[in-house]
Amino acid sequence: MKYEVDTENNAEKRASLVSPGNGMSGCLVLVVLLLSAAIVAMSATMYVFTSARLNEVTLPPLQEDGHTCQSDECIISAARIITSLDPSADPCHDFYQFACGGWIENNPIPDGSSQKNQFQVLNDDLTYKIKHTLETPDTTLTLKPLKQARSMYKTCMDEETMEKMGVEPMLKVLRAIGLTDLPLDHEKRLNETDDSELAHWQSVIANSERMLGYSILFSLHVGEHPMNTSKFVIQINQGNLGFPEKVSSKESEEEAKVIEVYIAHYIDLLVKRVPGAKVNTSRVAHEVLQFSKQLRNLTVENENKKDLLSQLEEITFADLQNITDSNLNLSISDPNRLNWTEYVNFVFDGLNVTLDFDSELIIVKNTEYFQKLSELLQNTPAETIERYIWWRVFSALAPHTMKEFREARKKFWQATTGIIEDLPKWKVCAYKVNEIFGMAIGYEYIKKHFNEEAKQKALEMVNDIHKAFEDMVKEVDWMDEATKNITIQKINAVMPFIGFPDWMLIPGAMEKYYEGIEVVDGEWFASHMKIVEVYHNTTLKKLNTKPDRNIFVAFPTTVNAFYSPQMNSITFPAGILHPPFYGLGLESLNYGAIGAIIGHEFTHGFDNDGRQFDLDGNLKEWWTNKTLTEYKSRVQCIVDQYSNYYFEPLGKNYTVNGKITQGENIADNGGLREALRAYEILKTRQAQQHWGRKSAPDPEPYLPGFANFSHKQLFFLGYANMWCSNETPSSLKESLKSDVHSPGRFRVLGTLSNMKEFAEAWNCSAGTRMNPVKKCVLW
């Protein structure tokens, strides 16, 4: 499980600076000169518009030694923040509009996209660097995994060859996992076809899981034991439907008609390419959708799930068989009976893993789902189940063949979700290849765009935030001493991973990491299947080994941050350690941006889910009842607060779901408080180093054009600026419905309105929107 800062990958390119070491010197000088001139002009204009507002704010006097930062980073940060501001907005009424109004106006949503935000802007810049790496010719010194990545990228980009090959590569995959070329007609069953090699549907979904990484009906994987992370265990959970949530629910009849037409049309595209084929695609589409909706009604929603521990059962496969066999009128040989022995034997076939079905303990999540699933399968014709499985695999593979399938899928997603998906081919291929060879590509990236100094500075910030969080826990009055002491132990046990894994720099380590991976030049499907099978089998074979807790959970090229409750670790890849999150010239901006993200990840260890794991990552209840009651009361305050937020243009029917977003909102609120406390720790240390005493004039310079702003005000601007975003109404509606993150606007308004330090910095009167009398404070 990974908790993530909100980000998507579908923004278009925004102009970016040339990276250091690549002919940057002359370009950067020109850019800095232009920005400097722009800042002078814009700051004068800004002063005119903001003077009335800032006269209402009590600003600290300039220190006698105060000076303006003239570094390239400061000038660039100043230009970005000035152009992001809406000086006409009242920071005490709507700080998001004040900090981001200009950004929203200056950053329209690109054609072919449904949103644009700061994460996407940085991700676009990074994706162009990945593109450059993948399009650079090999040399004799190129690592083998990077050569393989470039080969796959070249194959992915070769649309002409893909069009000539048509659907045959996909049909080979369908056959390989035991499916027919087309959905079966209504007179034949899958295991009654003339081809004796085609197997029962349970072996097909096992092959799909193992060979393609696609989970159908349910998922099986090997992972750390939730209650004992010193060992691996088989874990079984409910699957996903393969459709957007809203078109699978019974309330969405209009969307259901759209998806039914889409399924039929998608199958028709294949049928016309198979000589002599005849399929009643409308009937197949209706069956698939109806079965999907029935599955949807069985699933246990995240919002309605109880605490994590109560969702899990540690049982044997024999126990699970008894659960799924209960209340059924099926014989042992019935084709619709879930046969766990048969399924697991297919998944682990040839891996030399010994399983005792009567004694091997497994973790099953939401056993009620499997009991209901078994009942549904009993009452569903086997042909319907088989057509549904065929559709799930076919619809996942088809977009990787011919352009007409990709165009049809794009129109479907736009029609059902309102979200536009229209990425250029090179970007799609860069994403796909990076998902497989992210470590090899990341190795090239860190050599050119990341350095040890950045890593060490980030580690210093992590240590400051660690200390700040520990101090804050000591000060809270709602925790008893026993829980407080264990909480501090867990904070001290958090393992930070920054930039990239150290092993990447060891000669030969990269080749070992990708050992067993094969790439067939010019054949995407063949290569993809081989790679997925190697990865999946490697994971399955971990069953009898011990987990390695020294794991970097993301590729260095990731623009995101993570907390792992099982490992009690926080990870900040090199990809996110760039502006507008890091390297901003002033520590007030750095701590307000990446510092808040670091604090966010620390706090995930103590949100509504993370708090259920102990310092070793084991799922257990370690809070006393008294402290837990106090905790839940304060969390409910946050749930209620965010549930009242809505976008005025959409109306009050589209509110934030405070329940499903509570974990991220807890992390946002706690993370920013920790970052501010950490910044104060830094300032004390700097004063001691600069003046020889803890209380002294602030040695940190001012931002160009922001001499009238205190560093605390810049801290809050740094935080707000990273959540500036632009979304279409459809994208907002979809986000409000299912995203575990609140929209950027409310990540700013909700968090800052809970902080008295913000109100003090901006001199916001009590009772104003940004300084409400009631504040929700947990940490």
In a domain, 411, yes or no: no
Same domain, 186 and 261: yes
Question: How many domains would you assign to the chain?
Answer: 2
| Residue 330 near residue 336 (C-beta atoms within 8 A) | yes
pTM recorded for the entire structure: 0.88
In DSSP notation, 103-154 reads HHHHSPPPTT-SEEEHHHHHHHHHHHHHHHHHHSPP-TT--HHHHHHHHHHH
Same domain, 195 and 75: no
In a domain, 772, yes or no: no
Task: Give CA torsion, residues 666, 671, 677, 678, to 10 deg.
Answer: 160
**Owning domain of residue 47:** 8-114+462-493+580-761
Q: In 10 A of CB 654, how many CB atoms? A: 17
Same domain, 251 and 346: yes
Same domain, 225 and 312: yes
Compute the half-sphere exposure of residue 439: CA atoms within 13 Å on the CB side of its CA.
Answer: 19
Rounded mean pLDDT for each run of 10 residues along the chain, 779 residues in total: 36 27 36 45 45 43 64 97 98 98 96 90 97 96 96 95 93 93 65 45 90 91 95 93 57 76 94 90 94 87 69 95 85 79 90 89 95 92 92 93 91 76 89 97 96 93 98 97 97 98 96 95 89 91 92 96 97 97 97 98 97 96 96 98 95 94 98 98 87 67 94 98 95 90 98 99 97 97
What pLDDT is recorded for position 328? 77
Same domain, 77 and 191: no
In a domain, 500, yes or no: no
In a domain, 474, yes or no: yes
Task: Give CA torsion, residues 572, 577, 583, 584, to 10 deg.
Answer: -90
pLDDT in tens, 466-496: 999 999 999 999 999 999 999 999 999 999 9
Compute the half-sphere exposure of residue 370: CA atoms within 13 Å on the CB side of its CA.
Answer: 27
Same domain, 351 and 486: no
Same domain, 387 and 476: no
> How many residues are recorded in the chain?
779
What pLDDT is recorded for position 754? 99
Residue that finishes a domain, picked among 375, 401, 427: 401
Same domain, 474 and 380: no
Structure tokens, 578: 């760039």
In DSSP notation, 202-242 reads HHHHHHIIIII---BSEEEEEEEETTEEEEEEEEEEE---S
In a domain, 545, yes or no: no
Same domain, 479 and 396: no
Q: CATH code at 225?
A: 1.10.1380.10
In a domain, 17, yes or no: yes
Residue that finishes a domain, picked among 401, 422, 450: 401
Same domain, 347 and 483: no
| Residue 316 near residue 361 (C-beta atoms within 8 A) | yes
In a domain, 431, yes or no: no
Task: Give CA torsion, residues 758, 761, 766, 770, to 10 deg.
Answer: -40
| Residue 537 near residue 221 (C-beta atoms within 8 A) | no
Q: Residue 184: CB partners within 8 Å, gap ≥ 6? A: 190, 193, 383, 386, 387, 390
By DSSP bridging, strand 312-316 and strand 228-238 are unpaired
Q: In 10 A of CB 731, how many CB atoms? A: 22
Q: Letter for the amino acid at 98?
A: F
Same domain, 236 and 104: no
What pLDDT is recorded for position 252? 63
* Rounded Cα gap, residues 588 and 712, in angstroms: 7
Q: CATH code at 19?
A: 3.40.390.10
* Rounded Cα gap, residues 181 and 176, in angstroms: 11
| Residue 146 near residue 513 (C-beta atoms within 8 A) | no
Same domain, 749 and 656: yes
Residue that finishes a domain, picked among 360, 378, 401: 401
CA distances from 71 to 15, 35, 549, 576 (A): 21, 12, 40, 21
In a domain, 515, yes or no: no
What pLDDT is recorded for position 255? 74
